[in-house]
Structure 1
Amino acid sequence: MSAFAARDGFVSASASDDASDDGAVAAHFGNPIGEQRLLARGRAVVELGTGVVTVTGPDRLSWLNSITSQQLTGLPAGVGTETLVLDQAGRVEHAARVVDDGSTVWLLTERADAAPLAGWLDSMRFMLRVEVADRSAEFATIGWFGEVAPFASVDLPEPPVAEWVDPWAAVTPGGWGYAAQEAHPGSDWTLRIAVVTPGTADAIAASEVPVAGLLAHEALRIAAWRPTLSDADDRTIPHELDWLRSAVHLTKGCYRGQETVAKVHNLGHPPRRVVQLHLDGSDAVLPAPGTPVLLDDQQVGRLAASAVHHELGPIGLAVVKRSLDPTVTLTLEADGVVVTAAQETIVPPGAGATANVPRLPRLGAVKRS
């Protein structure tokens, strides 16, 4: 049950709209746009309801380093990073925000992915000195923007057990940004997430600290071009979402899926790419994630996320064909209404092929005049 369920205006983000559901947090508290403004200014907190997986034992960092996409060996205590679990073809299976406190690695992921991630990690332990646990039911996750938590003056029964600082504001060491870095909307992204006990979450909820719901957080995330596991499907490779920026180290040692990561980045192009959509809001309808993105009635992609931003209006993230002309206007359907959408390039059509290896002519090819 959400610690904030007793707050005025609480509307559950759970599909069942039942605040007693495990992990049910607020979609909003009656004023999503106002909550969003407060959250963006660092004046409100948002209960994120993320999954929490812990890894303990002396081999924890070197082991995670060997099986995921990020450089984790030697990760300083308290420094936030992000890593991906890929399959053999380089497709994203799991994603986790990572922070080590000196004795425990805290992995924060989508609530629904916590048990699958913990199960997969547990299956990979072999003889190493590590222990894995899904501890989502034991903790709450509270997010805010800025260095100082809005609840800093609240008398808490226990301090946060871990705090993760999002690295999205800049390309991380060993990473690569496909999006233009000048005026990147993520450069001001200062998200922090505290892992707290239920008692501490209750104390924050009972205080006068302003709160926001997940709708506010989602709008700010989309505007910052910040990818999450919810944006991926069963074909997604990191390059398509510009996830090399924060979750992949291109020169670290071998891990599952590394060959695809290196080959696409150095020699090829990702088959799809993420764009931001600026949606026509004149009919006051918002297409839902998963909605087909169309050009002249032909599907050219899918909507990964959508929200109403307090400054930009209706926006979304869509994964489209690499070859799609960035200047064309697209359409989506919501509640029987056709919604037009202009594109803003995030991952450009020419992303990849950074090794600049010249393409050799095909043997036996006939040159036609």
Structure 2
Amino acid sequence: MSAVPVAALDPTDPDAGAVAHYGDPAREQRVLDTAAGLVDRSHRGVLAIPGADRLGWLHSLTTQHLTGLAPMTGSELLVLSPHGHVEHHATLTDDGTATWLDTGDAPGLLGFLERMRFLMRVEPAEVTADWALLSIVGPQTDEALISLGVGPLLPPDLLAVPEAKFATGSVPSRPTVVYSAAALADGGWARRMAYGADLLVPRQTVPEITDALGLPPAGIWAFEALRVAARRPRAGFETDHRTLPAEVGWTGPAVHLEKGCYRGQETIARVHHLGRPPRKLVLLHLDGITTDELPARHTPITLEGSDRPVGFVGTAARHYELGTIALAVVKQNLTPDSVLHVGPSTAAIDPEA
């Protein structure tokens, strides 16, 4: 079983620090989908924010309601531009003394947070060099957590998104999604997610944790293929400079629609109360006939009979059951009957919402 690094295939890939696969990507996907496997995502950036003001400070800067976040729970948040466009996404966990953010752009998010410190009692810092993120993926996640002495953990608690023009007080004063977590014996924590669980561990303990779990390893290709099939967006992949949270489904887990002022809040409220956003996240099925190469990230999508782009590809993958698929952001008025083109390939929108 030989690990194939992403960097050996494409050193410019955002996942260049990860393993692409261990010899059989389709088998690895099947393991993650039907049992449980371990994905090393230690190339993902990690920020630590200790300090007494950390939760109130993050509450004021981001889209999430965080003032009452309980120790050993987590959630998701966004940092928006003044016009409401997504700039950063992070998943967070608070351990009672520090808030930990894992994100795809640690330097960029840290730079924003450092500019916003003012006189607050917070000390944000990037700690990626010392801490590694591992993901247990699959329906047997609870059994794996039990082997570490921290499971099972409660599944994610996600609030329903209120209807447009909802009454004041309709949204509880709590995070819109709550992830349960538990401390690990040798430091760090385990956090229950919809796809399994994330483990944040001291980097030097990764071999020890891996041995203790005894799970088959799976590469980032398998993780990403299942993410695409589950329609979970990823910042920088299914987003561009004008992405609104509602376009990619982040209003539910990452945006609290009834909290105090934050940058971009006016746009969030206007889009939610006036109706559909201009674009939407969809799952595409590509024909795979004219080429077996996956389309590059942000490849334009066109409608048959026109050269004008109607969207872009975010992440494309070869799924072990669905074939060649891709997450894409397209114009709101497109339907499953629309005949689309992605480079030389014909594509169709999956009819399931």
Question: Match for 2:120: what amino acid?
Answer: L
Aligned position for 1:294: 302
Partner of 2:185: none
Q: Residue 14 of structure 1 aligns to a residue in which SS?
A: helix
Task: Report deviation, 1:38.
Answer: 1.1
Question: 1:106-121 residue pairs with structure 2 within 5 A?
Answer: 106-110=100-104, 113-121=105-113
* 2:292 is equivalent to residue 284 of structure 1: yes
In the TM superposition, residue 251 of structure 1 has moved relative to its aligned partner by: 0.8
- Give the distance between the partners of 1:313 and 1:17, measured in 2 at CA: 22
Flag structure 1 segments of 5+ consecutive residues without an equivalent: 1-7, 179-187, 348-369
Quote the residue 1:274 is aligned against.
Answer: 281
- Aligned with 2:331 (options 313, 321, 333): 321
For residues 260 and 237 of structure 1, the distance between their equivalents in structure 2, rounded to whole angstroms, comes to 9
TM-score between the two structures when normalised by the length of structure 1: 0.78
Deviation at 1:119, TM superposition (A): 1.4
What is the deviation of 1:298? 2.7
Counting aligned pairs with the same residue, the percent is: 43
Q: Which structure is larger by alpha-carbon Rg, 1 or 2? A: 1
Q: Residues 17 and 206 of structure 1: is their aligned pair in 2 closer, same or farther, counting only changes over 3 Å?
A: farther
List alignment gaps of at least 5 residues for structure 2.
Answer: 165-192
Q: What is the deviation of 1:177? A: 9.4
| Structure-2 change in CA distance of 1:268 and 1:209 (3 Å) | closer
1:203 aligns with 2:228: no
* Matching residue within 234, 250, 254 for 1:247: 254
Are the structure 2 counterparts of residues 141 and 224 from structure 1 closer, same or farther at C-alpha, using a change threshold of 3 Å? same
1:123 corresponds in structure 2 to 115
Q: Does 1:223 align with 2:229?
A: yes
Shift of 1:43: 2.1
For the residues of structure 1 that align with 2:318 and 2:146, how far apart are their CA atoms? Answer: 29
What's the secondary structure of 1:131's corresponding residue?
Answer: coil
Residue type at the aligned position of 1:300:
V
How do residues 52-201 of structure 1 correspond to structure 2 at under 5 angstroms? 52-110=46-104, 113-145=105-137, 146=139, 147-148=141-142, 150=144, 153=147, 167=156, 172-173=158-159, 175=161, 189-201=194-206
Q: Give the aligned partner of residue 18 of structure 2.
A: 25
Q: Is 1:35–2:43 an aligned residue pair?
A: no
Q: What's the TM-score once normalised by structure 2's chain length?
A: 0.81
Q: Does the CA contact (< 8 Å) of 1:50 and 1:109 recur in 2?
A: yes
SS of structure 2 residue aligned to 1:66: helix
Separation in 2, partners of 1:116, 1:123: 11
Change in CA separation of 1:228 and 1:198 when aligned onto 2, cut-off 3 Å: same
State whether residues 6 and 16 of structure 2, in contact with CA within 8 Å, keep that contact through their aligned partners in structure 1.
no
CA contact (8 A) 1:165 1:191 kept: no
Residues in 1 aligned to 2:102 and 2:69: alpha-carbon distance in whole angstroms: 16
The answer to whether 1:341 aligns with 2:335 is no
CA contact (8 A) 1:151 1:209 kept: no
Counterparts in 2 of 1:64 and 1:42: CA distance versus 1, 3 Å: farther
Superimposed CA distance per residue, residues 9-55 of structure 1 (whole angstroms, 9 cap, x where no aligned partner): 2111237767xx99712011111110111122342100112110011
RMSD: 2.8
How many residue pairs match? The answer is: 314
Paired residues of 1:305 and 1:316 also in contact (CA < 8 A):
yes
**Cα gap change, 1:273 to 1:54, in 2 (>3 Å):** same
1:42–1:144: 8 Å Cα contact kept in structure 2? no
